[in-house]
Amino acid sequence: MQHTVRLPYGTRATFSYSEAGFNVEWEPAPPVIRNPRARRRFFEAYREARAAFLQDVAAVMGGNVLVVDTSGEMAVIRQPVKH
């Protein structure tokens, strides 16, 4: 599975998932953002896009996905519920 998203500051992130695991490729490299508000906005957009992609992964896998950031934050992406 693979999905590319546009993020603030002209950055694109390509999320991919395979038997080897989860990977993110940046184009160009993630910017160095000194302004705390702008940095928070950038990473909120990234986390939202990542969660949407991993929800698709959870649906394909048929289970939940646990995310542990390098910052120490954790999130559980739940498999979508069929209605």
- What pLDDT shows up at residue 69? 86
pTM of model > 0.85: yes
Name the pLDDT band for 72 (thresholds 50, 70, 90).
confident
Residue 6 lies in domain: 2-77
Transcribe 15-68 into DSSP letters. EEEETTEEEEEEESPPP---SHHHHHHHHHHHHHHHHHHHHHHHHHHTS-EEEE
- Total of domains in the chain: 1
The secondary structure of residue 78, as a DSSP letter, is P
On the question of pLDDT at 81 being above 90, the answer is no
Name the pLDDT band for 83 (thresholds 50, 70, 90).
low
The whole-number average pLDDT for the span 25-33 is: 93
Answer whether residue 45 is part of any domain.
yes
pLDDT, tens digit, for every residue of 13-24?
999 999 899 999
